[in-house]
Amino acid sequence: MTVGDVLDWRRRVAELYREVRAVPEPAVGHALWVDGRARLLREHAASPVPPEERGTTRAGEVAPYDPAFRFVVPVEQGLPAERREVMTGTDGVVPLERVGRVRLGELGSLDVWWVASYGGGLFVPLRDATSARSTYGGGRYLLDTIKGADLGGGLDALVLDLNFAYPPSCAYDPAWACPLPGPGNRLAGAVPVGELTAPSP
């Protein structure tokens, strides 16, 4: 894997999410995302799936789209300052600063983080009752604007669609080390949508 491969991967992911945002019907955008993501994992040189396993794609099964798990919510700001420094084997120390919290109805709430390194970006991971059962044990990502995973909206109305939840790169290959959900990003209930089947190690 080269720098050029990673650059192309980032651009393709960002383009895929741009295409999804341009589709007015979320379920149609979701189908586009499912197909595009599976293709990238299976075929791209920068896929986190180990090269010898890409032909069979260890991407998990994705649940059918359920509009009940799509939220457009304001980010509640003014919370006490909180900072996490997450050590990763591939990106060094990733500093995270909490910028607010979103409430997802009866599911509960999730902290919204700012990746406080060059360029910055919003980051929302998630762990729920499906983790280590029908999804990756370390949790999943909903929003990672640095990596292009962005469904749109702003702090006044952020789009968080749990149907697009996906496992981080470390789910596919332990050579990756990824920031995982802390206490403020854990939901007691189940999120039975998004990428479900945990890839086998």
* pLDDT tens sequence across 139-188: 999 999 988 999 999 999 999 999 999 998 888 877 777 888 989 999 99
- Tell the residue number behind the tokens 């360029």, with chain if given: 119
- Tens of pLDDT, residue by residue over 122-147, are 999 999 999 888 888 889 999 999 88
Rounded Cα distance between 39 and 13, Å, is: 11
Looking at mean pLDDT, say which of 66-75, 76-85, 192-201 comes out highest.
66-75
Centre a 10 Å sphere on the Cβ of residue 117 and count the other Cβ atoms it contains: 14
Query: 62-93: string of b/e by CB count within 10 Å (b at 16+)?
Result: bbebbeebbbebebeeeeeeeeeebeeeeeee
Range with lowest mean pLDDT among 15-24, 38-47, 190-199 = 190-199
Provide φ and ψ at 171, rounded to 5°: -70, -25
* Beta-bridge partners for 125: 141
